Amino acid sequence: MVNRNKIHPLLIDPVTVRDGVRGIERPKSFMESVSEDPEVLKEISNHHIVSARQFSKETVVQLCRLAAHYETTPTLIHKPLSDKIMISAFSEPSTRTRFSFESAWSRLGGNVMSMTDPGTTGLAKGESMEDIAEMFSNYGDVMVLRSSDDEMIYSILEYLRIPVVNAGNGIDEHPTQALSDLYTILKWRPDLSFDSPESKIKIGIIGTPGKMRTVRSLLLLLSYFHSAIDEIIIINSEEGVFSEGQAEELKHSGLSLRIEKNLEQILPELDVIYINSIAWVGDTYETLAGNLKLHAASPLKKDAIILHPLARGPELDTSLDQTEHNWYFAQARGAVFLRMALLTCILQKIDQVADVQI
Ligand code: CP
């Protein structure tokens, strides 16, 4: 309860910025370990971005390098998107994705038109997707779309004359979250981008790949880095962890996968732990069943890092926030710079920000 008769104690001392983001010092070392190759990034110029399947290892590494360039250059002298407009259309709740896309776009100098309730558009009057796409193509330069409906992004891109970026479509994919996850992992261990890294890593994923779009897209991107990954262990006590054909596709692309039920037993082996408990299904969300929880007293390897796409629930205890294992805040922060990099490329402005002359 706020006591209105006296000044709040937090207002007496000078405001200090909390030092809460671990891993923040790493973008420079990642940037210096990878040579710039802007030609690779031209492959996604003016493209719709819907699936993690659209990338290659080289594109992911170069996007992360450009993200690192942005993260180490807080004030841009040249704003490459200063005459551009982004349509941000989110019909499902979002803290990180919407605000980090809008932050990324604003930092690049662009303007944003935002829609969070489709009931305020012509959809509520039965307007066709074809007509809405035609209007959006006139009013903006790129569209970022989140929907609980897996198919909506495919329905609209057929008619759009501007690129659309998938910000999460039902239980299907969340490719820009997965890119942000890779950016975090590569800042932590830049050598994982090399064909022969110093050592391979073991990754534990606490979640349900068949139902969680973040996990599905992450596994697809990790398959490009299979030469750096010893094994991926899915920790889940339920049946039906993968969707039909998913595990086979990932194994075929070079990943070694296994499922474990006992978290405490497997934790001491893991270098990276990715945890998520929420899956959007239809109009609501399901949380992962079982007693899979991480906290500061969990038997973690000394240098292990924890990633979480957030929002968190009880599965990720706040006791971890002040430990060296907390890379989930750096992951959420880095998403702004990764999305800046992606938007720069899609909007065909890579030649304006690259150091190398093309
Ligand atoms: N990571 C993520 O998708 O978070 P939001 O739902 O807050 O966008």
- Determine, yes or no, domain membership for 5: no
- Regarding whether 344 and 322 lie in a shared domain, the answer is no
Q: Which residues line ligand 1 (CB under 6 A)?
A: 94-97, 168, 174, 177, 309-311
- Determine, yes or no, domain membership for 76: yes
pLDDT score, position 23: 66
- Regarding whether 230 and 146 lie in a shared domain, the answer is no
Per-residue pLDDT tens for 106-154? 999 999 999 999 888 888 899 999 999 999 999 999 999 999 999 999 9
- Regarding whether 269 and 136 lie in a shared domain, the answer is no
137 CA distance to ligand 1 centroid (A)?
26
Atom 4 (ligand 1) nearest CA: 96
For the chain, what is the domain count?
Answer: 2
Which residue, among 192, 308, 200, has the nearest Cα to 256 in the 3D structure?
200
CA distance 108 to 78: 8
- Determine, yes or no, domain membership for 7: no
pTM score of the predicted model = 0.94
Phi, psi of 216 (to 5 degrees): -60, -45
What CATH number does the domain containing 266 carry? Answer: 3.40.50.1370
- Regarding whether 181 and 248 lie in a shared domain, the answer is yes
- Looking at the CA of residue 177, tell me the nearest atom of ligand 1: 1
The answer, yes or no, to whether residue 271 has pLDDT greater than 90, is yes
Which residue, among 179, 196, 118, 166, has the nearest Cα to 307 in the 3D structure?
179
Per-residue pLDDT tens for 176-198? 999 999 999 999 999 999 999 99
- Determine, yes or no, domain membership for 343: yes
Range of the domain at 287: 175-333
- Determine, yes or no, domain membership for 1: no
Confidence label for 277 from pLDDT (cuts 50, 70 and 90) = confident
Pocket test residue of 88, 91, 97, 213 for ligand 1, highest count of atoms within 8 A of CB:
97
- Determine, yes or no, domain membership for 18: no
- Regarding whether 148 and 194 lie in a shared domain, the answer is no
pLDDT score, position 289: 56
- Regarding whether 211 and 95 lie in a shared domain, the answer is no
- Regarding whether 329 and 180 lie in a shared domain, the answer is yes
- Regarding whether 147 and 92 lie in a shared domain, the answer is yes
- Regarding whether 165 and 198 lie in a shared domain, the answer is no
- Regarding whether 227 and 107 lie in a shared domain, the answer is no
Per-residue pLDDT tens for 92-107? 999 999 999 999 999 9
- Find out whether the peptide bond into 335 is cis, omega within 30 degrees of 0: no
- Determine, yes or no, domain membership for 42: yes
Mean pLDDT for all residues in the chain? 92
- Regarding whether 224 and 129 lie in a shared domain, the answer is no
Average pLDDT over every residue of 200-215:
96
- Regarding whether 236 and 134 lie in a shared domain, the answer is no
- Determine, yes or no, domain membership for 320: yes
